[in-house]
């Protein structure tokens, strides 16, 4: 996560400190929420000595939240990017679905989606955060869409398929399934909705 403070590019040591603060804040906010995470908690977790050091890199808590959204976006996409990059066949769609379900089992179905949790807490209260989250979801949706377009270009999907709309529906289904997984502590709803969406895509199979 390469950044600048003001107009000054950070040194490698400064960038490492900034990244460490953002990662610590992201972990705490994922567990306790933005409102439930104090500056003192972040300083302790990031092993930073004083609030002035934190504000040197981020200015205020809103700026830190923006960095947390960026961090979580990269983390979510880094996990899924190897699969999303090959999301160009029904076999790849099934593999993506299976990987998402396995990831939830590995976390004991706790926590939900990092971006979804931030959206629920921030979208009504922080317009800047909401705009950053919309951009994050757009990156995710675009990655799904590109795979579906590849399928269409190869002739696996018919011309009536709308990759943009199908990608949006897949991502929306995934978010709802992750929320239900968090509430129920099992993946039944997540599996059901992803299976239903993949079946919907199959209606366009040639």
| Same domain, yes or no: 38 and 78 | no
- 8 confidence band (pLDDT: 50, 70, 90): low
| Same domain, yes or no: 107 and 157 | yes
| Same domain, yes or no: 85 and 183 | yes
Domain that holds residue 178: 68-202
| Same domain, yes or no: 151 and 82 | yes
Express each pLDDT in 110-169 by its tens digit: 999 999 999 999 999 999 999 999 999 999 999 999 999 999 999 999 999 999 999 999
- pLDDT, residue 82, reads 86
Does residue 13 surpass a pLDDT of 90?
Answer: no
- pLDDT, residue 84, reads 83
Express each pLDDT in 77-87 by its tens digit: 998 888 888 88
Distance CA 39, CA 51 (A): 7
- Read off the pTM: 0.87
- pLDDT, residue 174, reads 97
Does residue 3 surpass a pLDDT of 90?
Answer: no
For residue 6, the domain's CATH number is 1.10.10
**28: CB partners within 8 A, 6+ apart:** 37, 41, 42, 45
Domain count within the chain? 2
Q: What is the mean pLDDT of the chain?
A: 92
| Same domain, yes or no: 105 and 130 | yes
| Same domain, yes or no: 139 and 189 | yes
| Same domain, yes or no: 16 and 102 | no
| Same domain, yes or no: 73 and 151 | yes
Closest CA to 25 of 1, 55, 47, 45: 45
Helices within 33-113 (DSSP H only): 39-46, 51-58, 61-84, 90-106
| Same domain, yes or no: 41 and 98 | no
Distance CA 86, CA 27 (A): 29
| Same domain, yes or no: 113 and 23 | no
């Amino acid at each position: 996560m390469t950044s600048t403070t003001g107009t000054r590019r950070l040194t490698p040591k400064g960038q490492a400190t900034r990244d460490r603060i953002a990662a610590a804040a992201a972990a705490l906010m994922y567990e306790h929420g933005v409102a439930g995470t104090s500056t003192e908690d972040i300083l302790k977790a990031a092993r930073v000595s004083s609030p002035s050091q934190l504000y040197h890199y981020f200015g205020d808590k809103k700026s830190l939240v923006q960095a947390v959204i960026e961090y979580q976006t990269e983390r979510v996409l880094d996990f899924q990017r190897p699969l999303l990059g090959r999301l160009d066949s029904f076999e790849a769609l099934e593999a993506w679905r299976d990987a998402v379900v396995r990831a939830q089992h590995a976390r004991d179905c706790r926590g939900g989606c990092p971006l979804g949790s931030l959206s629920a807490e921030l979208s009504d209260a922080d317009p800047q955060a909401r705009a950053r989250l919309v951009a994050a979801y757009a990156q995710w949706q675009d990655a799904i869409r590109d795979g579906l377009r590849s399928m269409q270009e190869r002739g696996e999907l018919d011309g009536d398929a709308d990759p943009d709309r199908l990608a949006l529906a897949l991502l929306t289904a995934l978010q709802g399934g992750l929320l239900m997984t968090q509430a129920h502590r099992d993946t039944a709803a997540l599996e059901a909705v992803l299976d239903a969406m993949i079946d919907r895509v199959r209606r366009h199979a040639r």
